[in-house]
Amino acid sequence: MLNEIRTVYLDSDLNIEAYRFKGIMQKFPAHFHEYYVIGFIEEGQRYMVCKGKEYIINPGDLILFNPYDTHSCEQIDGKTLDYRCINVKPGVMKKAVLEINGNENLPCFKQSVLYHSEIVSNLRELHLKISQDESEFKKEELFLYLLEELIQTHSDLTILPPVSETSYEIKTVCNYLEENYTKTITLNDLSVLTGWSKYHLLRSFTKQKGISPYSYLETIRVNHAKKLLEKGIKPIEVTFLTGFSDQSHLTKFFKRLVGLTPKQYMRIFESKGET
């Protein structure tokens, strides 16, 4: 088809694949994969058979395939399909479960389709971060949160409650982020710093601070960017002085937290008035 898009992103940070199909009409015969598939439909309606059970799947429905789950699907509304998914190899899933649960037991997802699932928005955000090649830190946060929710709610595994956290480690992480905000920081750096697993660090930090470690770091960067813009330093220079990967990254986070673009904010101090 002329307008169809088939794109595959291999994310070297997470070691997972992200597929995007747009405008396709292809029928997929019965087959299986050796990895987990977590996907969702953006547009179109499909008839699917998985492990002998029939489904009608629509936009907003989440699809979960375990390794070797036999499935087939085809379009039934006469329209094209828009679909996104991530493929997670068992070895990668084992590492993630080890972070989350302290063991390498592979989950078996009990449902092949989660209708109108709120988890779709988290998967979409992760997929976009992968396709836009964003920082490893943010992607790994989203990935662990996504798997935690799916495993806890929709698999045969039980996630053990985290041990009580201490303020000392959290304060250590905050100090490290505040002192190194201009550098590239990973979740692994913070895990090594505290001696905690990445999952325990994410959960404990977010519980105490009310914000994830990555969001905390971006807030520090925005606050420093404000000070530099107030001095008349141009946004392009501010970008690299505050640790943002590029100017669009700075603008996105700055506007999200401040409500203005960096240029609009800088003009306030140029004119000493309103934008």
In the 8-state DSSP scheme, what is residue 155?
A: B
- What is the rounded CA–CA span in Å between residue 88 and residue 90? 6
Written as six digits, the tokens of 150 are 């799916």
* Helices 119-131 + 136-154 axis angle, to 10: 150
Start-end ranges of CATH 1.10.10.60 in the chain?
163-275
Residue type, 92: V
- What stretch of H or E contains 30? strand 28-31
- What is the rounded CA–CA span in Å between residue 14 and residue 204? 22
Tell me the three state secondary structure of residue 91.
helix
Fold of 5-154: Jelly Rolls (2.60.120)
**Rg value, the chain, Cα:** 21
Q: Pairing between strand 5-11 and 62-65?
A: unpaired
Taking the CA atoms of residue 117, residue 119, residue 125 and residue 127 in that order, the dihedral angle to the nearest 10 degrees is -90
Residue 154 contacts residue 64 (beta carbons within 8 Å): yes
Tell me the three state secondary structure of residue 213.
helix
pLDDT of residue 33: 94
Rama region for 210: left / alpha / beta (φ>0; ψ in -120 to 50; rest): left
Start-end ranges of CATH 2.60.120.10 in the chain?
5-154
Count other Cβ atoms within 10 Å, centred on residue 128: 14
- What is the rounded CA–CA span in Å between residue 193 and residue 185? 12
Q: Which of these, 270, 177, 188, lies nearest to 223 by C-alpha position?
A: 177
- What is the rounded CA–CA span in Å between residue 227 and residue 119? 37
Q: How confident is the model at residue 159 (pLDDT cuts 50, 70, 90)?
A: confident
Q: What is the pTM of this model?
A: 0.85
Written as six digits, the tokens of 182 are 């201009």
Fold of 163-275: Arc Repressor Mutant, subunit A (1.10.10)
pLDDT of residue 79: 86
The 10s digit of each residue's pLDDT in 62-88 is: 999 999 999 999 999 888 999 999 999
Which segments of the chain does DSSP mark as H helices, in order? 90-101, 119-131, 136-154, 167-179, 187-194, 198-209, 213-230, 235-241, 247-258, 262-271
The 10s digit of each residue's pLDDT in 92-101 is: 999 999 988 8
* pLDDT at residue 34 is higher than 90: yes
* pLDDT at residue 249 is higher than 90: no
Mean pLDDT within 192-200: 92
pLDDT of residue 164: 60
